[in-house]
């Protein structure tokens, strides 16, 4: 069957098998490999993309169901060379380690901030509670999203040494 | 340009508390990850690439009667179906494990665990490969399984490994450490002895990226390129050469970006070998990526130790001795990954952080009809089990003596002046200063106030618990004379080249699965030679581009490879001294080093920066005799000892008396990993491990039913903490450098995974004190906590 959708601002039309999952369509047909796959049961959320601005688990959406819709993947988050504040926040606050859950986490964060520009920490935790990170323990992801909320215009891109506060206590 | 910190590189020179190499800096790897440009195994697409899928056994124990692949082979998109019989013809049906056992690549005779590999399909796309699995007809003759390790040695128990000549039972090994007679004597005369069976259930590392490989065999020049989810690319290359017969110089193993490892990606799984066989058979690249159920059901699990713990003490709370007998469930093949001499890993550090008069442990390993593995999930080669045992036993003793658990620990710590400390089971702890670390955690927690709050709440019938854990790790395997894996000594190499313009590349043998090696190793070089970290590229994960070494697991990257990198940088710095002397027409001994330049003693205005020296080294300056051109060096580091990081953890929980639900309200973690490199990355490592610990303590378990069916085979059943189950971590640190590591650093990657489970369980048990609960086994799920409140839980199987 033929499907058409807008992905990261570009219109695409492809012939697909009706059973193809959106995650495989994005990864294998469109070669946008920033969207990951991590479980068989809609639990892990590494496959989260935005469909018409709402986070969806693309392993649980048939590509055919996305026909006529607008999809944003991690590759569509930045505006040219300018990172989305969420992307910048994840770098500033160490919101990622292996990077596998990161695209999904960032897209959920983007959708959250679009609807709620100043979320409380608990609201952030609830927003990402459908996604699993094995590396970070979530606190730095919460801080990353808070950083994005506090810097809606992003930050000067040349910073490599962060000015963020230390969180640890020393004797 | 970043301003370099002026920090002496010798930790003995003082100023330990300042992190090295610029301290907190953003990670060099992050720009690609936040743009979705990481390159994981499943992102790799080669021209003409095919896809493999594995047919797995639906039962735990069964004779293989027949396999009919004809219908699958007739599928229009299927190119090959490989069975155990096919592999037998190639001599590849069985592969060596990392514990000197063998494991079936595909079943030839008998299925030995549910999910075992039975056949491999190679097809044009991943959907077709899965479709074809459904077309393979297999007949099994089901046998009774051995599920409970306690029954594995029963007379008449089914013999799982009848493939091994002469095998008549399910026994794998007996191992012991410490002095039994001495320990028994101390126990016999002690005022107080407490005993407890403590089970560390089977859990799974479950990295977000499952295991996979892309194999590309070139039949013309006989060259194999293997992209693999591996934490040990060099060791894998050697093992593939030994197994496949492909000469080692014709094998290139590439471990690209890895989506988490935690020990899950150390072993060689049948799927990797099958991808290679598939590529050889079809003449095309073959990708195999397992699904989540395959990951949870067939790849390396962790723990599964049944421990009989005993602790002896005086009545006023001086701990005298520890002893334990352990029954270790290794599954159907002995495939644990640990140094050869240590079949129970480093479990014999179960003496913990305490100054004991005696200690003794025995470990018996048995086969069961479960997936193989055992050493994984950030365990530091079984230090997790050891720390859990001692820290639970100390709490149980505190209850028996009616002492505060913090006070009991403080009373029994190895004292600062006793380091280096020889424990009773053969370890030499390199450095430690436990009391300040413990005191800091108590101060951060407001320990006395918490106890007051708990007392008030108990009077109101509310269940609040405070749990303490103080752990000592042993990481950085290891000295080559003692430690090898399949005969490969556990050393690591590093190569450093300074380019003519003063930019550098350092090549290392360890591989990152998220630990940030591209940043921290650049920081170590920056500290040593004064080039900013952003001017230093770290190359890793490709055997064609990096020196040999054993890889990243057991928190060994910083202790071993970090030392190699510091030493290779010092070697380059020393070479630069001779070149600078030639450029300045002076003697090397007249030069002094500071902040990235060699200058003339007494005249700092006359000197050469590293960039100037690099250009000189590659230019036409006449070099002194014995100094060749270019500015580079290589080293292999053989650590003289392991490093012994430690920490004090305090967990505060609230238990719902109506449902048994445990809420982790606070978690305070004070870690000491010696000299710190990037505090941001260290904090991240700690946070991740604490989350593992909460997961294991409260949620995670791989259980089996009586037929050997795996009950934890998906994320619907194997529960991992989300952001809602963990608190905002409160972290602190002390700094006690390692005396033998070149920069004083110790490993930290697994500290929190090792140290946190007992803190959580101690808190839960503490909360349940009004119900008379002295111990409960993990995981402390609502149902199990509720059972404990009613009088007891069953031990997990």
Condensed to tens digits (0 to 9), the pLDDT of residues B343-402 reads 999 999 999 999 999 999 999 999 999 999 999 999 999 999 999 999 999 999 999 999
Res B8: pLDDT: 37
**Chain B residues closer than 8 Å to A25 by CB:** none
Res A160: pLDDT: 44
Res B5: pLDDT: 35
CB contact under 8 A, A98 and B691: no
User: What gap in Å lies between CA B555 and CA B639, rounded to an integer?
Assistant: 14
Q: Note whether A2-76 and A85-150 share their fold.
A: no
Residue B544 lies in a domain: yes
Res B795: pLDDT: 73
Lowest mean pLDDT among A32-36, A85-89, B446-450, B477-481: B477-481
By CB atoms closer than 10 A (0-12, 13-18, 19+), residue A70 is: middle
Q: What is the pTM of this model?
A: 0.96
CB contact under 8 A, A98 and B514: yes
What residues contact residue B598 under an 8 Å CB cut-off, 6+ apart?
B576, B577, B580, B581, B591, B592, B607, B608, B613
Give B643's DSSP letter: B
Place of tokens 């009989």: B308
| pLDDT class of A156 with cuts at 50, 70, 90 | low
Give the tokens for residue B253.
């193993």
Does position B117 have pLDDT exceeding 90, yes or no? yes
- Which H or E run contains A89? helix A85-92
CB contact under 8 A, A99 and B516: no
With pLDDT > 70 as the criterion, what percentage of chain B qualifies?
Answer: 98
Q: Which of A141, A155, A171 to mutate to test the interface with B (most CBs of B within 10 A)?
A: A171
User: What gap in Å lies between CA B211 and CA B658, rounded to an integer?
Assistant: 41
Res A162: pLDDT: 46
**Chain A residues closer than 8 Å to B444 by CB:** 169
State the ipTM, two decimals: 0.96
Per DSSP, the three-state class of B14 is coil
Per DSSP, the three-state class of B644 is coil
Nearest CA-CA distance, residue A42 and chain B, Å: 9
Give the tokens for residue B272.
């990797």
CB contact under 8 A, A132 and B715: yes
Residue B567 lies in a domain: yes
Residue B525 lies in a domain: yes
What residues contact residue B691 under an 8 Å CB cut-off, 6+ apart?
A134, A136, A137, A138, B721, B726
Count the domains in chain B: 1
pLDDT digits (tens, 9 = 90+) for B432-454: 999 999 999 999 999 999 999 99
By CB atoms closer than 10 A (0-12, 13-18, 19+), residue B100 is: exposed
Instruction: For strands B50-56 and B488-489, give the pairing.
Output: unpaired
Res A165: pLDDT: 54
Which sequence spans correspond to the domains of chain A? Answer: 2-76, 85-150
Backbone angles phi, psi at A16, to 5 degrees: -135, 160
**Chain A residues closer than 8 Å to B33 by CB:** 96, 99, 102
pLDDT digits (tens, 9 = 90+) for B231-286: 999 999 999 999 889 999 999 999 999 999 999 999 999 999 999 999 999 999 99
By CB atoms closer than 10 A (0-12, 13-18, 19+), residue B628 is: exposed
Helix/strand number for chain B, H first, E second: 18, 33
CB contact under 8 A, B723 and A97: no
CB contact under 8 A, A135 and B43: no
Q: Which of B212, B723, B735 to mutate to test the interface with A (most CBs of A within 10 A)?
A: B723
- Whether A124 contacts A142, CB under 8 Å: yes
Place of tokens 């992209």: B227
Per the omega criterion (within 30 degrees of 0), is the bond before B478 cis? yes
Per DSSP, the three-state class of B313 is strand
**Chain A residues closer than 8 Å to B728 by CB:** 121, 139, 142
User: What gap in Å lies between CA B576 and CA B530, rounded to an integer?
Assistant: 12
pLDDT digits (tens, 9 = 90+) for B159-189: 999 999 999 999 999 999 999 999 999 999 9
| pLDDT class of B2 with cuts at 50, 70, 90 | very low
Res B20: pLDDT: 77
CB contact under 8 A, B30 and A121: no
Average pLDDT over residues B694-721: 98
pLDDT digits (tens, 9 = 90+) for B502-515: 999 999 999 999 99
Classify domain A85-150 at the CATH topology level: DNA polymerase; domain 1 (1.10.150)
Does position A92 have pLDDT exceeding 60, yes or no? yes
| pLDDT class of B212 with cuts at 50, 70, 90 | very high
Does position B717 have pLDDT exceeding 50, yes or no? yes
Q: Which of B23, B27, B34 to mutate to test the interface with A (most CBs of A within 10 A)?
A: B34
| pLDDT class of A161 with cuts at 50, 70, 90 | very low
User: What gap in Å lies between CA A39 and CA B715, rounded to an integer?
Assistant: 7
Going from the C-alpha of B187 to that of each of B4, B86, B194, B403, B720, the distances in angstroms are: 56, 58, 10, 20, 40
CB contact under 8 A, A134 and B260: yes
| pLDDT class of A171 with cuts at 50, 70, 90 | low
Residue B594 lies in a domain: yes
User: What gap in Å lies between CA B50 and CA B54, rounded to an integer?
Assistant: 14
What residues contact residue B166 under an 8 Å CB cut-off, 6+ apart?
none
CB pairs under 8 A between A and B: 217
Per DSSP, the three-state class of B406 is helix
CB contact under 8 A, B33 and A96: yes
Q: Which of A28, A98, A168 has its CB closest to that of B683?
A: A168
- What is the domain-level CATH number for residue B510? 3.30.365.10
CB atoms within 10 A of CB B544: 12
Classify domain A2-76 at the CATH topology level: Ubiquitin-like (UB roll) (3.10.20)
Give B144's DSSP letter: -
Nearest CA-CA distance, residue B246 and chain A, Å: 31
Residue B620 lies in a domain: yes
Give one word for A112, left, alpha or beta, with left for phi > 0 and alpha for psi -120 to 50. Answer: alpha
Residue B766 lies in a domain: no
Give B220's DSSP letter: T
Q: Which of A20, A46, A91 has its CB closest to that of B26?
A: A91
Residue B303 lies in a domain: no
- Whether B77 contacts B125, CB under 8 Å: yes
Res A170: pLDDT: 80
Give the tokens for residue B82.
């490989």
With pLDDT > 90 as the criterion, what percentage of chain A qualifies?
Answer: 88
| pLDDT class of B14 with cuts at 50, 70, 90 | very low
Domain with B504 in it: 11-38+491-637
Closest CA to B435 of B452, B419, B453: B419
By CB atoms closer than 10 A (0-12, 13-18, 19+), residue B66 is: exposed
Going from the C-alpha of B537 to that of each of B36, B499, B533, the distances in angstroms are: 21, 11, 8
Query: For A32, which residue in chain B has the nearest alpha carbon?
Result: B36
- Whether B146 contacts B152, CB under 8 Å: yes
Residue B617 lies in a domain: yes
Res B624: pLDDT: 87
User: What gap in Å lies between CA B12 and CA B739, rounded to an integer?
Assistant: 8
Q: Which of A33, A137, A171 has its CB closest to that of B729?
A: A137
Closest CA to B649 of B354, B346, B424, B388: B388
Closest CA to B551 of B791, B785, B246, B233: B233
């Amino acid at each position: 069957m033929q499907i058409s959708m807008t992905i990261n601002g570009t219109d695409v039309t492809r012939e697909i098998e009706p059973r193809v999952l959106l995650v495989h369509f994005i990864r294998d047909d469109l070669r946008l490999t920033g969207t990951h796959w991590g479980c068989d049961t809609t639990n892990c959320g590494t496959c989260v993309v935005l469909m018409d601005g709402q986070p969806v688990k693309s392993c649980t959406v048939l590509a055919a169901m996305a026909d006529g819709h607008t999809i944003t993947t991690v590759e569509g988050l930045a505006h040219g060379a300018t990172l989305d504040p969420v992307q910048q926040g994840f770098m500033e606050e160490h919101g990622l380690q292996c990077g596998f859950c990161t695209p999904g986490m960032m897209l959920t964060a983007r959708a959250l901030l679009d609807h709620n520009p100043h979320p409380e920490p608990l609201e952030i935790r609830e927003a990402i509670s459908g996604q699993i990170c094995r590396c970070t323990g979530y606190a730095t992801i919460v801080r990353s999203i808070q950083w994005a909320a506090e810097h809606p215009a992003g930050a000067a891109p040349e910073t490599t040494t962060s000015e963020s506060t230390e969180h640890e206590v020393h004797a | 340009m970043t301003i370099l910190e002026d920090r002496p590189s010798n930790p003995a020179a003082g100023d330990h508390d300042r992190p090295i190499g610029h301290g907190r800096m953003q990670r060099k790897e992050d720009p690609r990850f936040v743009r979705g440009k990481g390159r994981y195994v499943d992102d790799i697409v080669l021209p003409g690439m095919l896809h493999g899928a594995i047919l797995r056994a639906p039962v735990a124990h069964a004779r293989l009667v027949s396999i009919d692949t004809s219908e699958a082979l007739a599928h229009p998109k299927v190119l090959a179906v490989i069975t155990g019989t096919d592999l037998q013809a190639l001599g590849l049906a069985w592969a060596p494990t990392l514990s000197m056992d063998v494991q079936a690549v595909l079943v030839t005779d008998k299925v030995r665990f549910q999910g075992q590999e039975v056949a491999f399909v190679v097809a044009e796309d991943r959907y077709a490969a899965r479709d074809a699995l459904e077309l393979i007809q297999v007949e099994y003759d089901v046998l009774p399984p051995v599920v409970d390790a306690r029954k594995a040695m029963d007379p008449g128990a089914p013999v799982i490994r009848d493939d091994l000549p002469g095998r008549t039972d399910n026994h794998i090994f007996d191992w012991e450490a410490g002095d039994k007679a001495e320990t028994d004597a101390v126990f016999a005369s002690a005022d107080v002895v407490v005993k407890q069976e403590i089970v560390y259930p089977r859990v799974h590392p479950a990295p977000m990226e499952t295991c996979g490989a892309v194999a590309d065999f070139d039949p013309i020049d006989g060259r194999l390129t293997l992209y693999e989810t591996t934490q040990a690319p060099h060791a894998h290359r050697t093992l593939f050469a030994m197994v496949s017969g492909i000469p080692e110089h014709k094998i290139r193993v590439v471990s690209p970006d890895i989506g988490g490892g935690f020990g899950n990606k150390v072993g060689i799984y049948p799927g990797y070998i099958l991808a290679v066989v598939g590529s050889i058979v079809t003449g095309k690249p073959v990708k195999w990526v397992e699904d989540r159920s395959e990951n949870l059901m067939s790849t390396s699990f962790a723990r599964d130790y049944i421990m009989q713990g005993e602790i002896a003490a005086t009545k006023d709370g001086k701990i005298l001795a520890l002893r334990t007998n352990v029954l270790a469930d290794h599954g159907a093949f002995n495939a644990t990954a640990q140094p050869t001499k240590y079949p129970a890993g480093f479990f014999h550090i179960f003496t913990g952080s305490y100054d004991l008069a005696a200690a003794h442990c025995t470990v018996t390993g048995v086969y069961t009809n479960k997936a193989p593995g055992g050493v994984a999930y950030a365990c530091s080669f079984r230090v997790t089990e050891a720390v859990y045992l001692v820290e639970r036993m100390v709490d149980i003793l505190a209850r028996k003596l009616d002492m505060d658990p913090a006070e009991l620990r403080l009373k029994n710590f190895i004292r600062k002046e006793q380091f280096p400390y020889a424990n009773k089971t053969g370890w030499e702890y390199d450095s430690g200063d436990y009391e300040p670390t413990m005191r800091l955690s108590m101060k951060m927690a407001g320990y006395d106030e918490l106890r007051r709050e708990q007392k008030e709440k108990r009077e109101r019938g509310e269940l609040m618990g405070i749990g303490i854990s103080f752990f000592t790790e042993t990481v950085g395997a290891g000295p080559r004379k003692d430690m090898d894996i399949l005969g490969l000594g556990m050393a690591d190499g590093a190569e450093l080249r300074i380019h003519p313009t003063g930019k550098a590349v350092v090549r290392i043998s360890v591989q990152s699965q998220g630990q940030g090696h591209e940043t921290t190793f650049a920081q170590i070089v920056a500290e040593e030679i004064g080039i900013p970290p952003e001017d230093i590229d770290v190359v890793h994960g490709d055997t064609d581009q990096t020196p040999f070494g054993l890889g990243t697991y057991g928190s060994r990257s910083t202790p071993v490879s970090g030392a190699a990198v510091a030493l290779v940088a010092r070697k380059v710095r020393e070479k630069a001294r001779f070149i600078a002397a030639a450029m300045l027409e002076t003697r090397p001994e007249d030069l002094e080093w500071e902040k990235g330049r060699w200058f003339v003693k007494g005249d700092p205005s006359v000197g050469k920066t590293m960039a100037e020296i690099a250009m000189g080294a590659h230019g036409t300056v006449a070099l002194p005799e014995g100094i060749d051109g270019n500015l580079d060096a290589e080293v292999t580091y053989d650590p003289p000892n392991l490093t012994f990081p430690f920490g004090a953890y305090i967990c505060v929980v609230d238990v719902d008396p109506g449902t048994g639900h445990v809420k982790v309200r606070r978690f305070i973690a004070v870690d000491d990993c010696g000299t710190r490199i990037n505090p941001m990355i260290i904090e991240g490592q700690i946070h991740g491990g604490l989350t593992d610990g909460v997961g294991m303590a409260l949620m995670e378990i791989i259980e089996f039913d009586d037929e050997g069916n795996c009950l934890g085979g998906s994320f619907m059943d194997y529960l991992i903490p989300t952001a809602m189950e963990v608190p905002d971590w409160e972290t602190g640190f002390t700094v006690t450098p390692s005396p033998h590591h070149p920069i004083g650093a110790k490993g930290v990657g697994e500290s929190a995974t090792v140290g946190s489970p007992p803190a959580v369980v101690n808190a839960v048990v503490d909360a349940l004190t009004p119900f008379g609960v002295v111990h409960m086994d993990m995981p402390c799920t609502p149902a199990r906590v509720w059972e404990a409140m009613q009088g007891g839980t069953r031990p997990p199987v």
